[in-house]
Amino acid sequence: DLINEGNLGLIKAAKRFDETRGFKFISYAVWWIRQSILQALAEQSRIVRLPLNRVGTLNKISKAYSQLEQEFERDPNTRELANLLDMDSQDVADTLKIAGRHVSVDAPFAQGDDNRLLDVLQNDGHLPDHGLNKDSLTLEVERSLSVLAPREADVIRSYFGIGMD
């Protein structure tokens, strides 16, 4: 996929190249190929697409994080990152939250393991359609009882406990 993106960048460079400016085509093409590949990585490497400006900010923060981690020999905090990058601490914290990894519920815990996260997750809550099904059933029973004589409907309600809490 990345090779194809590079080819698209090469095509774009060929269409936009102006030989009258005195530059070599290879110098011009390298920039467009690199841009196409980086844009494809930014748009397709995540489950949720981030805007390109957020991806750029995230890359800057990652580089600064590595630099400070080597310098301090510990994980830097958001204030230190913000000071180095001349950014607001809250913006750095928000961007770091976005960078979190996603976990697939269908992926096995370990290679060769048959257990998945979905197998161990438990949902004790009611299903969303449970209330709708109950309401629909209640309406249908009431509609059916409405065609009976009042005495017959009362007998059926009493026998089956319909409408009694």
Pair 156, 162: CB distance under 8 Å: yes
Per-residue model confidence (pLDDT) at position 118: 75
What does the alpha-carbon distance between residue 165 and residue 162 come to, in Å, rounded to a whole number?
Answer: 8
Whether the model pTM is above 0.85: no
Residues 6 or more apart whose Cβ sits within 8 Å of residue 141: 162
Confidence check: pLDDT of 122 > 80: no
Tell me the average pLDDT of the chain: 85
Per-residue model confidence (pLDDT) at position 155: 92
Pair 130, 117: CB distance under 8 Å: no
CA angle in degrees (0–180, nearest 5) for 63-100-125: 175
Per-residue model confidence (pLDDT) at position 29: 93
CA angle in degrees (0–180, nearest 5) for 98-89-64: 70
